[in-house]
Chains A and B, each alone.
Chain A
Amino acid sequence: MISVKTLSFITGRALQGVVVMFGVSLIVFFALFLTGDPAALMMPPEASRAEIEAFRQAMGFNDPVLVQYLRFVGGILHGEFGNSLRFQRPALDLLLDRLPATALLAFVALAWSSLLGFVLGTIAAIRQNSGIDFAIRVISLLGQAIPVFWLALLLIIVFSLNLRWLPSSGIGTVQQLVLPSLALGAYYFSAITRLVRASLIEVLGENYIRTARAKGISNWRIVVHHALRNALIPVITVQGMYFASLLGGALITEIIFAWPGIGRLAVDSIQTKDFPVVQAVVIFAALVFVVMNFLVDIAYVFLNPRIRL
């Protein structure tokens, strides 16, 4: 079934991904040197010059840049990003330790935002220009306009501090999952609502829908069986990207709610100049993006016969 054209398309996309990852590795590596002398930064203020020099030697910062880069890339290919300076443990282990927490938050945030966004977007499209459409559009506009740090703090102040319904931070119970996933999902909920609405309105204006109406098919059946099926293709594409960006760690949400995920690890590592961990997180996030992009591209080929190559 897979044509030569399709195969060459897939191979091309895979090669593009490799090129992107190569570019990312270059940026990640050289960013370390843009910031000045890494050895001096990682040592405490009272350290003497000799101690800084000893540390620099131990970290291999004295070798030629090309040698350091090749060592860096070689390490990555073997899954080695070096030891975290703070934890004295492999950076990749730290990242993988925190992946489940980030994945859980990402799943829940994406699940509620997709579900609600899908329902509200459909209602808004069917009842276009009605009062309820207007209300949904206002809500989804707010969801995208409100900064996540503000929403997160608002949720804490209202639901933890004033109402005392939910804990403000931490992980372990279902209650602790509610506020962070609400804060994190708000943006995606709005985006998906708007996308479903726009996409569905467009499809409902198509000729084949008019034909279906003319045949006397019920409105409900038209929306569910004919329109939504086509309207959802762009939504699924976009969701792939959202999920990729969520898996890279939700920096602000994880920090505010003390959620032990990748985003918090990234922020802590940046602030303490734990470069091996920062590098691991950035490479990981880039890889997730590239892979997701690749999968979405392939899915597109198979899901949408209209763009058969």
Chain B
Amino acid sequence: MVNLRTFVLAVAALVLPLSTAAAAQNEITIARSVSTTAMDPGFLREAATIVDNIFDTLVMRDDDMKLVPGLADSWKAIDDTTWQFNLRHGVKFHDGEDFNADAVKFTIDRILDPAANSPTISYIRTIASVEVVDPYTVRIKTNGPDPLLPTRMSRYPTYIVPPKYVQKVGNDVFARKPVGTGPYKFVEFIPDQHVILEANEDYWRGKPSIKKVTWRAIPDGTARVTALITGEADLVENVPVDLAPMIEQSPDADLVQVKNGGLTIYLGLVMKDKPLDNVKVRQALDAAIDRKGIVDNILRGMATPKGTQVGPADFGYLDIPPTKYDPQKAKELLKEAGYPDGFSIKMQSSHRYMKDGEVAQAIAQQFGDIGVKVDQEVLDWSVYTQQVPRKGPIFMLGWGSTQTLDADAAIYAIMRSGEPYSTADVPELDKLLDESRKIVNPAAREKVLHEVQKVAAETVPLLTLYQEDSLYGKAKDVVFAGRQDARIPVFDIKLKSAE
């Protein structure tokens, strides 16, 4: 009978008036496409979007993506393998524990501990040890010169955690009830439903203006955008391109388009396979793609054609224009390479990026125009990731430098031969890439990174297509411009109605 009663109640609810009013003053609901599973910043298997609001890092990034002091007042390289960080005084964790050098050492040591099996250890692999000089000074020693160390201190897994609390409750509980120094305190976490945070009134950067944040997970794009338009959510991330007009046309919401905020999409080429071992063939394929046509017509302008894998906001970016669409030249290159009649080749893609199925189809057609017959294979993402990048021989993938904003993250893993995701094999590139990891001096390093991109443009180890924008939807009342590094710092979000 309980079923029946619930059912009758449900039907009754149909006729009852319903309040879909936007969030009450100074409260905000943010809908993401993925569920949060755990909030221990040292052991994340997902984006740090929520964690970023609970914890702080030694180094932070401002709106222009410049590195600025966070929990560290200042930092400097003492020698090629030692960085010193001077820590901020008077900062406390949400439970009252003091933030100091011991907390920094504890944070890094627990990730480096091989027994801990941290999934993100690779991000700080270069660190050899952490020394506490005095309560507010730490020195971090690296295995070799590491120019990116300050950057590594600005993103997960190096959000500073409270040693006493973590040791007391253990990692498992900590992941469900996190305590940090950040602008928001943890309140409640119900998996697949929500995470609730409240303002940390004692925050060292000042009182947050929004007092309560509810993070929800709505996996379906239509449901997520609907939630925004109906006022069930005030901010949504990951808006599907097709649904962007729904937000643009809504009187209650705005589309936030962050130029170059997304991944750079490329076609990987398994270079050891014939005929992709021939540079002229790779150049021909590169010239056969109409990037502008794809971006304008398929992606509705929500991406930017590119000539390098490095993003404009990344350190080391070299402004290389996208390869010119020239099917005539592509045909000639094929002829020179010894394939006057073209060839047949397999191309794999999945459903992960903006309209990638349609983009892959367009490219297959454009390859067809120069005589290269493409056998297209579209796989489910979970299967795709098992085959890419080994099978191919042409495969579509997105890569980015998000949260690092350095050319190294954008290119090393996909261009250095032998790396798990790389199918490139250009000795000259390998040499330059290795060199780039040994230089600490920024100017010298930038020069080498520029050189890498020049060589890549000539030898075409992969076909760079375009960089996606990242798309958010927000209620009119919310002030949020979106960030290059894909973070959602609620501390910086304001509500117009609360001003």
Contacts and interface: CB of A to CB of B under 8 A. Distances in A.
B36 to A, nearest CB: 10
B225 to A, nearest CB: 9
A156 B222 contact: yes
Contacts of A48: 122, 125
A228 to B, nearest CB: 19
A174 B13 contact: yes
Most buried by A among B7, B9, B117, B171: B7
A87 interface: yes
A44 B118 CA distance: 10
A235 interface: no
Nearest to A83: B172
B413 A46 contact: yes
Interface in A142-199: 153, 156-157, 160-161, 164-175, 177-178, 181
B175 interface: yes
Given A47-B420, A167-B20, A255-B219, A86 B37 contact: yes
B420 A271 contact: no
Interface string A104-130: 100110111001000000000000000
A286 B122 CA distance: 39
Nearest to B2: A107
B35 A167 contact: no
B444 interface: no
Contact of B386 (A35, A55, A98, A108): A35
A167 B386 contact: no
A161 B192 contact: no
Interface stretch (B226-234, B290-298, B487-495): B226-234
Interface string A45-89: 111110100110010000000000000000000000000111111
B122 A46 contact: yes
B13 A170 contact: no
Given A107-B6, A108-B10, A178-B10, A153 B45 contact: no
A44 B10 contact: no
B315 interface: no
Interface residues of B, number: 57
Contacts of B117: 54-55, 58
B217 interface: yes
A103 B123 CA distance: 42
A88 B10 CA distance: 36
A258 B216 contact: yes
B220 A255 contact: yes
Contacts of A260: 190-193
A271 B383 CA distance: 9
A34 to B, nearest CB: 10
Interface string B128-153: 00000000000000000000000000
Contacts of B34: 268
Interface string B1-23: 01110110111111010101000
A289 interface: no
A44 B119 contact: yes
A170 B232 contact: yes
A41 B226 contact: no
A27 interface: no
Given A175-B18, A271-B381, A156 B223 contact: yes
Contacts of B25: none
A256 interface: yes
B114 interface: yes
A177 to B, nearest CB: 5
Interface in A258-309: 258, 260, 264-265, 267-268, 270-273
A97 interface: yes
B218 A258 contact: yes
A20 interface: no
A108 B122 CA distance: 47
A36 interface: yes
B483 to A, nearest CB: 22
Contact of B172 (A89, A104, A153, A170): A89
B220 A161 contact: no
Nearest to B114: A54
A258 B216 CA distance: 9
A107 B420 contact: no
B203 interface: no
A258 B172 contact: no
Interface string B437-457: 000000000000000000000
A87 B114 CA distance: 20
B219 A264 contact: yes
B232 to A, nearest CB: 6
B172 A88 contact: yes
B121 interface: yes
B4 A111 contact: yes
Interface string B187-225: 000111100000000000000000000001111101110
Nearest to B6: A108
Contacts of A169: 216, 218, 220, 223-224, 226-227, 232
A83 to B, nearest CB: 9
Nearest to A107: B3
Contacts of A96: none
Interface string A17-54: 00000000000000000011000110111111101001
B426 to A, nearest CB: 20
B120 interface: yes
Contacts of A157: 222, 226
Nearest to B229: A161
Contacts of B193: 170-172, 260
Interface in B455-483: none
A232 interface: no
Given A54-B117, A112-B7, A168-B223, 6 more contacts: A35-B383, A111-B3, A164-B20, A172-B193, A260-B190, A260-B191
6 contacts: A88-B171, A115-B7, A166-B13, A168-B226, A170-B232, A264-B35
- 6 closest cross-chain pairs (CB), A and B: A260-B192, A111-B3, A46-B122, A86-B37, A168-B226, A258-B218
Interface of B: 2-4, 6-7, 9-14, 16, 18, 20, 34-35, 37-38, 43, 45-46, 114, 117, 119-123, 125, 171-172, 175, 190-193, 216-220, 222-224, 226-227, 229-230, 232, 381-383, 385-386, 413, 420-421
